Structure 1
């Protein structure tokens, strides 16, 4: 410290104590090891709370701060610490997310860069499609198939409401793929479907109103998944399940997801979209580089196969619509208009 000529004090920088921001405790990049953590399965997610099954006990947990903004989804294997008793009003912490074996993703549309993870660690994707009320949606099925193949999941086609319409047209559409399927009516037993689900983690995906939650309720009595109805004017179902839920089934898991009206594929490369059409991909290999596979594409091997009658016209049209939709063109499913007031 120094003094001025008049006897007053003059402070220099050495005399000023600087208070550390946020407290005096030094920050560290070291993270706790949580060696006593127990591994659990995330069965539901609700507003920042994660329902986990830990050693057979349902536990509610929050995400530890050190995990940052990364998402935790149904199907994740996580390490949990804290109160694992499962008693009411107790809260544990998720401190680690285990490496995922598979991730099923979608985007809001084909131009949206933001991926939404639907579930993790599934083995099989059950694509639920109604044969009537609402009308079949082969384009939606095609999108789900592409997403399944991209995620490394086995696809399974579940055709519901077989009491209302014949499955023949839909089965003919997908016969070239050798796609496993189940045709389901309200009074038919589910033994065949149950056999396909046994011991696997299967995620159920479908548009609203196709009977997805009804199917889950039949497979897992007591699941009490909300069931909705189809609007007679719009032909669309009402969203009933509001969040994904994993349910134990025959040594495996069934994951019911909210009904969706779009299944964007912006996260999938165009070449991988073509690869999702197994009946067309072998012809695409003969196409010139950067082929668009559209009608005006020169020397397109898929177009040549179509002219020879070796591929189905509707399958080619579906592929072209999917590829176009990535450029912002419409790819909505069209259904017959409902009858007017005079029939």
Structure 2
């Protein structure tokens, strides 16, 4: 039998302590069916610049996202004022599933990983051939991060007018990493061909010419250019945050990231590294003892190579990458 309204008293009303209102909590969230799609091109102090159609919209992150972060490259849903007019602000209410996420940690013991960029499909590792000298360990670490993220690597060698790229190219030939060589004042046709139609993240330590390349590829970018100290080989961090830029007439995007002096890999599992070497991964599954790290004398991959199932150069490259992940000096 249903109770009459007059049968209710104050004990039947649930009021949350310390709250002015008595509206019950709910886990239901707005569907935001009127939300529009956007692409995050820059992040600056809690404000997100999003491309909506052909206009730039400034947005903030909605509280309902909780702790979910928003990074450059994210595809998001926005509500509110998406006109792009000055002094207007939209809200990001949803982050769409990511196809990739490039991560790094502060060092190899830091348990907290940071997502640098989302939804890129190519990792362009920029390194100078001289001034400053190449840092193979840094390149290796960035390759590990790229393989872990499921991204295709591209080696971009700058300042070929100062040094011959042959030695560095040969060192990475066993990995099958494609490369593009540039020189100061030279053409960029080869590099543009590698970037066309793709979303590429530019990474590299300070002073390698990353911002110079970006300015040449996207003339309106106006990225600040650093100068390298002739004694230490270090440059200042000219790009303070990631920025996505559309390539003119190429149908692709490049994302410039701040220069880094280290690239922690605490988040990367060893099996995610060897999976990038299909010929060696098969041998590891058949010949290696349980929990093999492929760096010890009892690793079965040595016999696999001796049988001609894979090349010694490939195994050396794998071990260099794994050793880099373990924090060997650069």
TM bucket normalised to smaller: 0.7 to 0.9
Which residue in the other structure is 2:87 paired with? 89
For the residues of structure 1 that align with 2:278 and 2:228, how far apart are their CA atoms?
32
**Per the alignment, in what secondary structure is the counterpart of residue 88 of structure 2?**
coil
CA offset at residue 305 of structure 1? 4.4
Q: Deviations over 1:126-178 (max 9, x none)?
A: 11011111111111111111211221111111001101101011111111122
Against the structure 1 CA distance between its residues 81 and 305, is the aligned structure 2 distance closer, same or farther, given a 3 Å change threshold? same
Deviating more after overlay: 268-277 vs 69-78: 268-277
Q: Secondary structure at the match of 2:58?
A: strand
Secondary structure, aligned partner of 1:225: coil
Over 3 Å counting, the alpha-carbon distance change for 1:207 and 1:19 in structure 2 is closer
What is the aligned partner in structure 2 of residue 62 from structure 1? Answer: 60
Give the SS at the match of 1:169: helix
Separation in structure 1 between the aligned mates of residue 266 and residue 43 of structure 2, nearest angstrom:
25
The match for 1:266 is 266
Structure 2 equivalent of residue 187 of structure 1: 185
State the Cα deviation string for residues 247-281 of structure 1 (Å, max 9, x = none).
01122211000011111111111222333466855
Aligned residues between the structures:
313
1:22 to 15, 19, 23: 19
Determine the structure 2 residue equivalent to 1:287: 288
Q: Which deviations, in whole Å up to 9, do the C-alpha atoms of 1:1-34 show, x marking residues without a partner?
A: xxxxxxxxxxxx98xx978422223222221111
Shift of 1:315: 3.2
Q: Deviations over 1:50-87 (max 9, x none)?
A: 00011111011000111111110000000111111211
2:4 corresponds to = none
Contact 2:159 2:182 in 1 (8 A): yes
Q: Could you say if the C-alpha distance between residues 252 and 270 of structure 1 is closer, same or farther in structure 2, counting changes exceeding 3 Å?
A: same
What residue number does 2:326 align with? Answer: 324
Separation in 1 of the partners of 2:145 and 2:173?
Answer: 19
Structure 2 residues not aligned, in runs of 5+ = 1-9
Q: Segments of 4+ in structure 1 off by > 6 A? A: none
Question: How far, CA to CA, are the matches of 1:28 and 1:114 in structure 2?
Answer: 32
| Kept in 2: contact 1:159–1:182 (CA 8 A) | yes
Q: Which runs of 5+ in 1 are unaligned?
A: 1-12, 326-330, 334-343
Q: Out of 18-27 and 51-60, give the one that drifted further.
A: 18-27
1:163 corresponds to which residue? 161
Larger radius of gyration: 1
TM-score for both structures, normalised by structure 2: 0.87
RMSD: 2.5
C-alpha separation between the residues in 2 aligned to 1:287 and 1:271? Answer: 12
Aligned residue for 1:6?
A: none
- Check the 8 A contact 1:125/1:153 in 2, yes or no: yes
CA distance 1:275–1:18, change in 2 (3 Å): closer
